[in-house]
Amino acid sequence: MHINSKDAYFIQDRNIFIMGSDKIEKKIELTDCGRFIMTSYINKNTGSEYIGSGVQKSDEFALAIDGMVYSGNTGGWILAGVSAATLKQGELEVVIALKNDVLRIERHYVIYPEVGVIQEWTVYENVSGKDAVIANPTIFIQRILNDYIDELDFMYMTGGGNFTGSTQLKTVKLHDGYVKDFDSQGPPEMSEIDGHYANKLHRRYNGTAMWFEFFALRNTRKSEGWYMTFDYQGWWQSQFTCRDRNTSLVGWCVLKDYAFPAGSSIKMPPMMTGVFVGDVDDLGNTINEYIYKYKWDYTRDKYFNRTNMTIWREAPLSKKVYKMVEAARYIGCERIWVDDFWFDAKGNWNGIFGDDWKYINEYIKKNGMVLRIWMPPWHADRLSNVWIEHPEWMLDFH
């Protein structure tokens, strides 16, 4: 099988599967003993191979069923089918199906033309004929760049929760023995800000409150690298290790004794990997290019990737707008963002400080900027008009 869409391609040569574009290439093999492993991952911008020669290969999937671990490395898998289709934006979706006596596995791969990105996820089906329980199915297993340990920076980001040190990009120079654990329901990695630590997290954590779902490895000598993101708002954990000059990044859904009836299936969250050339700014631009081209619903330029001046607890603004705009123009901001506390209640959205929003918006526009006001329509405070008139709409309140 050989299929193309623009520069994206998929090639099947018996039990070898090659997929990629002009910027990236990934090779997977189903070996003679039934192991399903990634054997090559190339940054085609530079020609660099990211899979080391002597290391344990990434096994693409893993989960425990009734206490027994099944993964791409355990072997015994039989090819059950291969299909490929072109999606509406020109992406290629490849589905490789495997089976044994207990499971049918579908590995989905989406190759995006003209960007160095491959998206992946796994679907598990219980074909054992009996009910079972599963635990901790993986979202990703990545073992790459092992030949360059001494030249690698590992990057991750603290989450967006309300604590000092949130939303920070952290960079660690790798060394043998380095281990880093991530837990979306664990404690935050706080930093001292203005001499203080603070943790005001809401009691219900989301998937990105503690950690953003982003990791990267950058070769500082060659100025190139690899990154990964995933999409899951439930409880997840991950561990990055660098031991015996091997790297390993594994992440999983935290599921304990999760019912897996006979004949049922479960789909794992999607993840994606990509490659870049350059520094951290180039990494960000590479991700933005992919998002803007394929994932952004409204590609009107003024709403995308703008630099903000954020105003918080500063209303009334009418007398201050001139100084704000002057400062924003000097700095080079493209948007004035008025955040929380300008209104009487969420669900009413009535201004309480007498600000003339129409005039403020017009003045900001005259200065070549955009006004943005924080107003999530799905929020409604208790005893707001929405709450009183439509209590059946309410799922929760502060």
Q: Which amino acid is at 297?
A: D
* DSSP at 58: B
Helical axes 321-331 vs 357-366, angle rounded to 10°? 30
Section 110-115 average pLDDT: 97
How large a percentage of the chain has pLDDT more than 90? 69
- Quick: pLDDT tens for 17-55: 999 999 999 999 999 999 999 999 999 999 999 998 767
Looking at every residue in the chain, the average pLDDT score rounds to 92
- Residues contacting residue 67 through CB under 8 Å, at least 6 positions apart: 135
Query: Which pairing describes strands 308-311 and 335-338: parallel, antiparallel, or unpaired?
Result: parallel
- Quick: pLDDT tens for 117-153: 999 999 999 999 999 999 999 999 999 998 889 999 9
Q: Which amino acid is at 129?
A: G
How large a percentage of the chain has pLDDT more than 70? 95
Q: How confident is the model at residue 82 (pLDDT cuts 50, 70, 90)?
A: very high
Structure-block tokens of residue 167: 């939303």
Q: How far apart are CA 177 and CA 392, in angstroms?
A: 54
- Helix (H) or strand (E) holding 237, with range, is strand 236-243
Q: How far apart are CA 18 and CA 10, in angstroms?
A: 6
pLDDT at 117: 97
Q: Does 380 score more than 90 pLDDT?
A: no
pLDDT at 267: 97
- Quick: pLDDT tens for 160-210: 988 999 999 999 999 999 999 999 999 999 999 889 899 888 776 667 889
175 CB-side CA count, 13 A: 2
Q: Does 397 score more than 80 pLDDT?
A: no
Phi, psi of 165 (to 5 degrees): 100, 5
- Quick: pLDDT tens for 262-317: 999 999 999 999 999 999 999 999 999 999 899 877 666 666 667 888 877 666 77
pLDDT at 366: 93
Q: Which of 251, 54, 235, 303 is nearest to 140 (CA)?
A: 251
Q: Which residues on adjacent β-strands are paired with residue 4?
A: 9
Q: How confident is the model at residue 98 (pLDDT cuts 50, 70, 90)?
A: very high
Q: How far apart are CA 340 and CA 351, in angstroms?
A: 11
Q: Does 398 score more than 50 pLDDT?
A: no
Weakest-pLDDT range from 189-193, 363-367, 374-378 = 374-378
Q: How far apart are CA 301 and CA 228, in angstroms?
A: 26
Q: Can you give the length of the chain in residues?
A: 398
pLDDT at 220: 97
Q: Does 319 score more than 90 pLDDT?
A: no
What distances in angstroms separate CA 319 from CA 63, 324, 366, one per listed residue? 60, 10, 17
pLDDT at 305: 63
pLDDT at 304: 63
Weakest-pLDDT range from 156-160, 261-265, 389-393 = 389-393
Q: How far apart are CA 360 and CA 336, in angstroms?
A: 10
Structure-block tokens of residue 101: 């006596």
